[in-house]
Structure 1
């Protein structure tokens, strides 16, 4: 291991969730997670950034069909479902997403996870410390 490898404290530095219908996807995530997204154009590509603190992992909804397309079996990211996974799953369904079964309890008090398909067809994970 190099010194740079040892100094890194996080595995994920950024994520992008592809969208074919950008406005629909942004509305979906704002409703499902009950958070506003910051719309921007970066390098000519429309993105909607999830709020995050400086130095924390960030990510965005991205409309760039020449580079990425939604897929149910692509990269899987887990989004913060605070305060509870149950509440987030209910919002996902109200926003037009489809949940994949009930929440799953993780061992060692790590919390709970659940999965859903978003408005664009991406499979996404949710995580929170509380179920309900």
Structure 2
């Protein structure tokens, strides 16, 4: 059995994220459209989820890869307050931003240069404030 690594400056603190949604079909279409990806659906009791792309054979906590889901659950409520998750918008942030309004979202903060590339803040189709990041 592989020994799990202790959290330090060389490990990701974030290993998983959930974005709450009211309408899973609408939210899935939004993210698939702006990011040009395919998401996988899964239901578990009263909870429904659409998974961002991932490899089921890779252990997320030890691989350094972070992924997450759109989550429809009685316990989750979309919000434009609180923690902001930044999603990979590679290779070109502007290409993704140009798809946001047509997909049912809104650009809150335009493309901004930071030392690690570029970021922007959007509101998704469910009213969540979400960050986007890309090197270009």
**TM-score w.r.t. length of structure 1:** 0.87
| Residue of structure 1 in register with 2:86 after alignment | 78
Is residue 104 of structure 2 the alignment partner of residue 67 of structure 1? no
Q: How many pairs align?
A: 125
| Residue of structure 1 in register with 2:96 after alignment | 88
Aligned-CA RMSD value:
1.7
Q: Could you say if the C-alpha distance between residues 40 and 8 of structure 1 is closer, same or farther in structure 2, counting changes exceeding 3 Å?
A: farther
Is residue 134 of structure 2 the alignment partner of residue 128 of structure 1? yes
Is residue 113 of structure 2 the alignment partner of residue 111 of structure 1? no
**TM-score w.r.t. length of structure 2:** 0.85
Q: Distance in 2 between matches of 1:127 and 1:113?
A: 4
Q: Which consecutive aligned stretches of 4+ in structure 1 deviate over 2 angstroms post-superposition? A: 3-8, 52-55
The runs of 5 or more residues in structure 2 that have no matched partner are none
2:26 aligns with one of 24, 27, 36: 24
Q: Is the contact between residue 85 and residue 103 of structure 1 (CA under 8 Å) also seen in structure 2?
A: yes
Q: Is the contact between residue 33 and residue 92 of structure 1 (CA under 8 Å) also seen in structure 2?
A: no
